[in-house]
Amino acid sequence: MAAAIGSAFVTYPAPPNTGSGFLPVPAGELGRRLPRLVLGLLLCGLGIALMVGADLGLAPWDVLHQGLSERTGIPIGTGGILVGALVLLAWIPLRERVGVGTVCNVVLIGLTIDVTLLVLPDDPAMPVRVVFLLVGAFLFGPGSGYYIGVGLGPGPRDGVMTALAARGISVRAARTAIEVTVLVLGFALGGSVGIGTVLFSLTIGPNVHYFLDRLSLDQPPPRAVVTAAE
């Protein structure tokens, strides 16, 4: 399976994700994989929250979430949850299967962002903001390594990219068009675009690759799978 992460398009082993129903979970593996999945998503949510607190620019989708937050008054994490749920609707015609990781991605990252922002200082000094930005961008590496590496299903935005790739559509072109669109829309709505946006785009690829190589779990043989409902 492949996942579109910032500037990277990361390939990792996972069961086929096309068809109907729920994405299979490796038999006897959920207890080992779920904690790593949750840890990875918490790290990603914490990273986004720190970048929001830095107020020096966000990743494209988070610019959109922040723009929606500015216009509607809903917390940015909650906005991300709502956008993620809407993106999942695109999975219906693409026949992508929802996995445990998909559901957790939609909910946990947004909740982590909102809770973390409650305890971060409102107007930190510039040196603190720079630290927030650097730490926040870095946390996407180990966070994605844990989350992607368990192979429990892509997030809603990644799933659209994997579905397009499976159909022979240029992922680079599709991802660029989608991320430029959400970036421009988010900026128009009041989202933060700046040096953090550039830093994230330039570092997310090598950052994720480094940790994914070290944190991925090998998939068990195809016969040893059960559906999550079981």
CB 96 within 8 A of CB 162: yes
Q: Provide the residue ranges of all domains of the chain, joining segments of one domain with +.
A: 33-216
CA dihedral 108, 7, 187, 118 (to 10 degrees): 30
For 54-91, write each residue's pLDDT tens digit: 999 999 999 999 999 999 999 999 999 999 999 999 88
- Phi/psi of residue 212, nearest 5 degrees: -65, -40
SS3 per-residue string spanning 149-173: HCCCCCCHHHHHHHHHHHCCCCHHH
User: What is this structure's pTM?
Assistant: 0.85
- What is the predicted pLDDT for the residue at 95? 82
- What is the predicted pLDDT for the residue at 19? 55
| Cα–Cα nearest to 80, from 111, 44, 37, 38 | 111
User: CB atoms < 10 A from the CB of 134, how many?
Assistant: 17
Quick check: helix, strand or coil at residue 188?
helix
Output 112-115 pairs: Cβ under 8 A, ≥24 positions apart. Answer: 112/41, 112/42, 112/44, 112/45, 112/46, 112/48, 112/49, 112/77, 113/45, 113/48, 113/49, 113/52, 113/75, 113/76, 113/77, 113/80, 114/75, 114/76, 114/77, 114/78, 115/77
Kindly indicate the confidence band of residue 28, based on its pLDDT and cuts at 50, 70 and 90: confident
For 90-141, write each residue's pLDDT tens digit: 888 888 888 999 999 999 999 999 999 999 999 999 999 999 999 999 999 9
Kindly indicate the confidence band of residue 21, based on its pLDDT and cuts at 50, 70 and 90: low
For 201-230, write each residue's pLDDT tens digit: 999 889 988 998 899 986 544 444 433 333
**Mean pLDDT to the nearest integer, 5-21:** 49
- What is the predicted pLDDT for the residue at 6? 44
CA-CA-CA-CA torsion sign (217, 222, 224, 229) = positive
Q: List the Cα angle 65/11/174 in 5-degree steps.
A: 50
For 150-183, write each residue's pLDDT tens digit: 989 889 988 887 777 778 877 677 778 888 999 9
CA distance 12 to 205: 14
